[in-house]
Structure 1
């Protein structure tokens, strides 16, 4: 029998995915797809771009190409440090963008959709500059702009999807963002397979320009966040119209609008006076407000659900400063856990393969000229394809198997594979290196890839979750910079032994996460997570 919607039960409604919601989610996911694309775009062509590797193209001579006719160089001479720098500029741009968005209210002032549009323009501009680059400075500028766009999109895309999506689909549609990253990496490797040669490498960046243009144009068909419209502009009419296209059950629209209006009132009150713990919880939650909570809490069967929703995270300003979160004894456990997870994701060495996998294999096989690199490009595409399959396979298992066991298993597998890769490179065991690379990618994908960002909101209290996200993202970018710039220099100096550093890192993180990071699966509150961690 149909139950009428009321203030008591509208949060429990199970909506289906409407066309507008599905379409909007797909277009927003192009942001993280482009992040994955730019993450791996230099993997195959970087040595060709830098004049350190030569591979013929389809024309008899470079002078016969479109690029030559318009005055563009066949390659841009760079040292190994120069190659490392252009890879690193992407991560520096991402770090600066993350810091700016975390420390300011730009996204709240201008809107989620607007910021996604700006990010897509950044992707277009950065990629176009790289396409037309004739010197190292231009390449670095393009990479920096792409990184800046990536840092913004990694923060804004999850927020926009979260605010468009009904509660029962937030986990599913939110997980598509991570899948889009792996698809972007795979897409860049496929395109690189066809265009990584002396004559056509610029087409890789031109394709990236096209991706940015496609997203920019299609974003105009995407809905702005109705929550943001209520919270910042108080545009009830437009928000209501948008929600009618996003919700399969129209009876909930009125109550969601009133819910956000109450949140807006709470937010204004918070600016003028102190709030108690309950109102702070309500202002941080995506799903509850002071009008609804007292009524829902009278229903015992909803108590666990209400607490769980409070753990989903926040995009509203934190009531605690960054300094307090980082240095206060009260939040020390949460801070340490977030830092361990977010740096582990980078420092076990996955992005060494993402950024420099082709160079590693070229050195292993002794490919330095002509057509020897085709097998390496095929392997690189295979690595990316396995990454996509692993991401799809693990998604439904995270809630069943738990976060901590998968993270620990992931690090253990990566440590074993780092050992094999290091020994294999030193002794020229090509089969062992290739097998270990596949194992490394699978190991990373089952834990360290998808889980750290997921766990931030589950480890952090409602009053610090937005700060935890900002600090965690920034440290993740910093660790990414270390890999992007440091790996090729170390590889030049000590060869395959660089993977023994990742082995040591992995062992260290294995013990640190065992001792300092709790399981979050099955607990209804952050307090329960830490109270039950021994």
Structure 2
């Protein structure tokens, strides 16, 4: 062999070795997790909007008018609408946020949500009328709807195959952190100071998330391959060569979706899309019909019924801590067991807890002596319910939504599913008192027991495990391809 041939062989061997090294490049997940944490600061803002009424309602209802921006005490009906207007705004917003996420990007849609939270809080600070509080709550609802629509899309598209389950469960953890934030601070500060404390959350989110990358899928869809490559290098902590395989896979997936230009009707025309819609919307429906809003509504009453001497604000803080602790375990548990198993376990345990809650209220009316002897039961059932909700049906339907749909219909799907969530949340919040008056507390809880029971076969039949699958492999599975 000549020296020239030897050199060619040496160069070829070096290039092959280098190529293998790039393919095996491990990268780093630090920036990916940082991005996921910063985008979920928007979820903390959602939590503060949801939990806002708990510490504020007592201030507005204070007959001494010592810590209220109003010169009068709002009626019970006015206070109910203050609570219900966030879900009302949130069910309208997804139909704007979904198309906007396709037009200006997931990142800028999420950043725009902070404007709604800030504007709402400015209205609260400057108000002297119930009407202005109504407007602020409705605008907050738009912020909630924007986050709940765009954030699952963003997380689903920036995650690697082995982190999607973990990162998808972050939303619930950060939402309950936001709820605990206002629960723990609100009762102990003035009305106006609370608004400024809440204002810090969307401001910090906007300032920090501004420096994070856009979704590589969005960039590819807009023909910006260089920007997609840069975003992927940042998120994976790899060199340009190290992300080529994944970049090619994203490009193939997006181009296949774009070849089939979609309309909202394509959600039901395609077999794969229809299956994905049934799974995603079904899980969200059962999430709301599991009774989470009612459980949180009844928290103070349950503590009172057991003879607890805890103050109501301390009781809500305890429940908030339980929610955060359980949600903190979710990424670990889901990574080990997968979403499907956790959804099944969650539905079973929530069914048991709701059944026990209904039993307690039944005995309280029909056998007070026995109810008194098991006064610990509703608290135990409450803790079981909240823990398993936070491990399963709280975060995982949103994680499933973020990975089920191809790029060309993802925004439509997110809009439909997010609005479904808030329509049910609005109706349940508004009419639960009427349900209790009509059939009693026991049967009201048993209605939720039945809903949780139906969620078990629905999940078993329809939901498949996506752990370790790429977004394209999920699409192949939905469309019956091997």
Q: Same fold (TM over 0.5)?
A: yes
- Structure 1 residues 284 and 518: alpha-carbon distance in aligned structure 2, compared to 1, 3 A threshold: same
Match of 2:278 among 319, 323, 336: 336
Match of 1:432 in 2: 377
Match of 1:441 among 376, 386, 399: 386
**What displacement does 1:32 show?**
0.9
Whether 2:451 is the aligned partner of 1:454: answer no
Judge conservation of contact 1:361–1:376 (CA < 8 Å) in 2.
no
**What displacement does 1:420 show?**
2.3
**What displacement does 1:215 show?**
2.0
Question: How far apart, CA to CA, are the structure 1 residues paired with 2:242 and 2:398?
Answer: 30
Judge conservation of contact 2:162–2:468 (CA < 8 Å) in 1.
no
**What displacement does 1:328 show?**
6.6
Judge conservation of contact 1:44–1:358 (CA < 8 Å) in 2.
no
Match of 2:263 among 314, 321, 343: 321
- Structure 1 residues 11 and 143: alpha-carbon distance in aligned structure 2, compared to 1, 3 A threshold: farther
- Structure 1 residues 488 and 459: alpha-carbon distance in aligned structure 2, compared to 1, 3 A threshold: same
Judge conservation of contact 2:50–2:179 (CA < 8 Å) in 1.
yes
Match of 1:215 in 2: 205
**What displacement does 1:124 show?**
1.0
- Structure 1 residues 172 and 187: alpha-carbon distance in aligned structure 2, compared to 1, 3 A threshold: same
Q: Calculate the TM-score normalised by the size of structure 2.
A: 0.79
- Structure 1 residues 425 and 77: alpha-carbon distance in aligned structure 2, compared to 1, 3 A threshold: farther
Match of 2:326 in 1: 390
Q: Calculate the TM-score normalised by the size of structure 1.
A: 0.72
Whether 2:283 is the aligned partner of 1:283: answer no
Whether 2:344 is the aligned partner of 1:408: answer yes
Question: How far apart, CA to CA, are the structure 1 residues paired with 2:318 and 2:273?
Answer: 42
How many residues align? The count is 455
- Structure 1 residues 28 and 432: alpha-carbon distance in aligned structure 2, compared to 1, 3 A threshold: same
CA offsets 1:332-384 (integer angstroms, 9 cap, x no match): 54443333211001111112234x245534764799xxxx7x53322222222
Question: How far apart, CA to CA, are the structure 2 residues paired with 1:284 and 1:113?
Answer: 23
Unmatched tracts of structure 2, length 5 or more:
1-13, 365-370
Q: How does 1:467-486 map to 2 (within 5 A)?
A: 467-486=412-431
CA offsets 1:172-192 (integer angstroms, 9 cap, x no match): 444333321222222222123
Give the secondary-structure state (helix, strand or coil) at the position aligned to 2:127.
Answer: coil
Match of 1:17 in 2: 29
**What displacement does 1:503 show?**
1.8
Match of 1:348 in 2: 290
Whether 2:75 is the aligned partner of 1:87: answer no
CA offsets 1:467-490 (integer angstroms, 9 cap, x no match): 444332222222222222222443
Unmatched tracts of structure 1, length 5 or more:
55-60, 264-278, 286-315
- Structure 1 residues 381 and 10: alpha-carbon distance in aligned structure 2, compared to 1, 3 A threshold: farther
Match of 1:204 in 2: 194
Judge conservation of contact 2:65–2:72 (CA < 8 Å) in 1.
no
Match of 1:78 in 2: 75
Give the secondary-structure state (helix, strand or coil) at the position aligned to 2:222.
Answer: helix
- Structure 1 residues 75 and 378: alpha-carbon distance in aligned structure 2, compared to 1, 3 A threshold: farther
Whether 2:248 is the aligned partner of 1:248: answer no
Match of 2:184 in 1: 190
Question: How far apart, CA to CA, are the structure 2 residues paired with 1:477 and 1:44?
Answer: 22
**What displacement does 1:520 show?**
4.9
* Aligned CA-pair RMSD: 3.9
Richer in helix (by share): 2
- Structure 1 residues 335 and 249: alpha-carbon distance in aligned structure 2, compared to 1, 3 A threshold: closer
Whether 2:441 is the aligned partner of 1:499: answer no
**What displacement does 1:85 show?**
2.2
